Amino acid sequence: MQFYIIMRKIFAFLFICTPFLSSYSQNNLPPGTYSSTNKKAVKYYEESKKMFQIRRDDEAEKLVKKAIEEDPGFVEAYSAYGQLLLGKNRIKEAIPLYEKALQINPKIYIENNYYLGVAYLNEAMYEKAILPLETIIKTERINPNIKEQAIRYLRNAKFGSAAIKNPQPFKPVNVGSGINTEEYEYFPALTADGNTFLFTRNIREGNGVEAPRQEDFYVSKKVNSTWQTANPINSVNTPGNEGAPSLSADGEIMFFASCMEMTGDYGSADRKGYGSCDIFYAQKINGKWSKPRNAGPMINTRNWETQPSFSSDGKTLYFIRGIAARDGIKNPDIYCSVIGEDGKFSEPVKLNDNINTPEGEESVFIHPDNQTLYFSSEGHPGMGRLDIFMSKRNADGSWGKAINLGYPINTVADENSLLVDASGKLAYFASEREGGFGGLDIYQFELPESVQPEKITYVKGHIYNARTKDPLEASFELIDLETQQSVTSAFSNSAGEFLVTLTSNHNYLVNVSKPGFLFYSDNFSLKDKPADYNKPYKLEIPLQPIDTGIIELKNIFFDVNKWDLKAESKAELQKIISFLKANPTLKVEFSGHTDNSGDKAFNKTLSNNRAKAIYDYVIEKGMISPTNLSYKGYGDTKPKAPNDTAENKAKNRRTELKIVSKQ
Distance CA 85, CA 57 (A): 10
Distance CA 117, CA 114 (A): 5
Q: Does pLDDT of 576 surpass 80?
A: yes
Confidence at 272, pLDDT banded by 50, 70, 90:
confident
Q: Does pLDDT of 266 surpass 70?
A: no
Angle at 25 between CA 20 and CA 26, to 5 degrees: 120
Would you give the DSSP letter of residue 558?
Answer: B
Share of the chain above pLDDT 90, in %: 61
590-620 per-position pLDDT tens digit: 999 999 999 999 999 999 999 999 999 999 9
Give one DSSP letter per residue of 409-429, joined into a string. TS-SS-----EE-TTSSEEEE
pLDDT top residue among 25 and 363: 363
Which overall architecture, per CATH, does domain 173-451 show? 6 Propeller (2.120)
CA atoms within 13 A on the CB side of 35: 22
pTM: predicted TM-score of the whole model, two decimal places = 0.79
| Extents of the domains making up the chain | 10-163, 173-451, 455-545, 549-663
pLDDT at 487: 84
Query: Crossing angle for the helix pair 75-87 and 39-53, nearest 10 degrees?
Result: 20
pLDDT top residue among 160 and 385: 160
Pick from 657, 455, 477: which is nearest to 551 by CA?
657
541-558 per-position pLDDT tens digit: 999 998 868 999 999 999
pLDDT at 484: 83
pLDDT mean over 303-309:
92
Q: Does pLDDT of 11 surpass 60?
A: no
List of residues 6+ apart from 288 with CB closer than 8 A: 235
List of residues 6+ apart from 163 with CB closer than 8 A: 383, 404, 406, 407, 410
The answer to whether 154 touches 137, Cβ cutoff 8 Å, is yes
- φ, ψ of residue 243 in degrees (nearest 5): -170, 180
The answer to whether 125 touches 94, Cβ cutoff 8 Å, is no
CA atoms within 13 A on the CB side of 500: 26
Q: Does pLDDT of 269 surpass 70?
A: no
Quick one: CA dihedral 419, 421, 424, 429, positive or negative?
Answer: negative
pLDDT mean over 181-199:
89
Q: Does pLDDT of 270 surpass 70?
A: no
Distance CA 191, CA 155 (A): 38
Pick from 261, 263, 301: which is nearest to 279 by CA?
301
Which CATH number among 3.20.20.20, 3.40.50.720, 3.30.565.10, 2.60.40.10 corresponds to the domain 455-545?
2.60.40.10
Chain mean pLDDT for the chain: 88
pLDDT at 19: 29
The answer to whether 487 touches 508, Cβ cutoff 8 Å, is yes
Domain 10-163 classification at class level = mainly alpha
Pick from 591, 597, 594, 566: which is nearest to 653 by CA?
594
488-539 per-position pLDDT tens digit: 888 888 899 988 888 878 889 999 999 999 999 888 888 766 666 667 788 9
Three-state helix/strand/coil letters over 107-128: CCCCCHHHHHHHHHHHCCCHHH
Region 549-663: CATH code: 3.30.1330.60
Confidence at 195, pLDDT banded by 50, 70, 90:
confident
Distance CA 576, CA 299 (A): 35
Say whether 68 sits in a helix, a strand or coil. Answer: helix
Q: Does pLDDT of 236 surpass 90?
A: no
Instruction: Output Rg (C-alpha) for the chain, integer angstroms.
Output: 33
